[in-house]
Amino acid sequence: MNKNILRLYLIAASSSFENPLKDLETAFKSGVTCFQLREKGDNIKSGQELLDFALEVKALCKKYAVTFIVNDNAELAESVEADGIHIGQDDVKPELLPEYFSDKIIGLSVGNLNELKKSSLDRVSYLGIGPVYSTLSKADAGEAIGTEGLKEVVQQTALPTAAIGGITEKNYKDCLESGADGICVISAITGSDNIEQTVTALLQ
Ligand code: TZP
Ligand code: MG
């Protein structure tokens, strides 16, 4: 895959924004390069409602040439013909994903060097590495590895990498300087009261 896709990777659920389609459009228009629909947390959609929402998001992604990834839901990803899927350490193993994903992007979360070493990476396209900093967005995110931990993982893989966890306008450059190809954020953008300004700052 083209690692530039990872430059500014937004993750959100349908409930992450007050006006999700409007706010996502603002984020995409401002320069987000990749979007992951991660339907977790409170007020989550399911069934037809989730499918409809995912299709609307996919259309927005297409309009702004944003790569569209679905978190850990192969059926949904396939139904909406997403560009790929993102899986965690405890999700379906990459090699057991359906045939649909054979030419799609497969992202894998890696918490530290130890997890990298025990992961089967044959079909993995990129790694999400973290949490780099502490985060309130994922209860079971594990211990923050800091930029030193990030560097360790980045140096041990040839795969494209995105740093994740507690990344803000203040620290994102440290992640890029540690060798990550891009940054993944939830709250920096979902909690922003000026999405355009935040996205622009994270792309500087
Ligand atoms: N995986 C590791 S940390 C994290 C995920 C999904 C949450 C990142 O959210 P935030 O708000 O950018 O810290
Ligand atoms: Mg998962």
Q: Residue 43: its pLDDT value, please?
A: 93
Residue 61: per-residue pLDDT: 98
Whether the CB of 70 sits within 6 Å of ligand 1: no
Looking at 40-44, 108-112, 147-151, 156-160, which range is the least confident one?
A: 40-44
Structural Rg of the chain based on CA atoms: 16
CATH number of 31's domain: 3.20.20.70
Average model confidence (pLDDT) across the chain? 97
Q: What's the domain count of the chain?
A: 1
91 and 79 Cβ atoms separated by less than 8 Å = no
How confident is residue 19, by pLDDT bands cut at 50, 70 and 90? very high
Positions annotated as catalytic residues are 38, 109, 138
Q: What is the pLDDT of residue 160?
A: 98
Residue 72: predicted pLDDT: 97
Average pLDDT score over residue span 12-21: 97
Amino acid 38: pLDDT: 98
Q: State whether the beta carbon of 135 lies less than 6 angstroms from ligand 1.
A: yes
- Tell me, in angstroms, the distance from the centre of ligand 1 to residue 62's CA: 24
ipTM: 0.97
Confidence of residue 95 (pLDDT cuts 50, 70, 90): very high
Give the structural domain span for 67: 3-202
For 161-203, what is each residue's pLDDT tens digit?
Answer: 999 999 999 999 999 999 999 999 999 999 999 999 999 999 9
Amino acid 86: pLDDT: 98
Around ion ligand 2, residues with a beta carbon closer than 5 Å are 72, 88, 91
- Ligand number, closest to the Cα atom of 92: 2
pTM over 0.90: yes
The answer to whether 93 is annotated as binding is: no
- The per-residue pLDDT for range 46-74, each reduced to its tens digit, is 999 999 999 999 999 999 999 999 999 99
pLDDT of residue 88: 96
Report pLDDT for 93.
94
Q: Please report the DSSP string for the chain in residue order.
A: --GGGGTEEEEE-TTSSSSHHHHHHHHHHHT--EEEE---SSS---HHHHHHHHHHHHHHHHHTT-EEEEES-HHHHHHTT-SEEEE-TTS--GGGS-GGGGGSEEEEEE-SHHHHHHS--TT--EEEE--SS--SS-TT-----HHHHHHHHHHT--S-EEEESS--TTTHHHHHHTT-SEEEESHHHHT-S-HHHHHHHHT-
144 lines ligand 1 (CB under 6 A): no
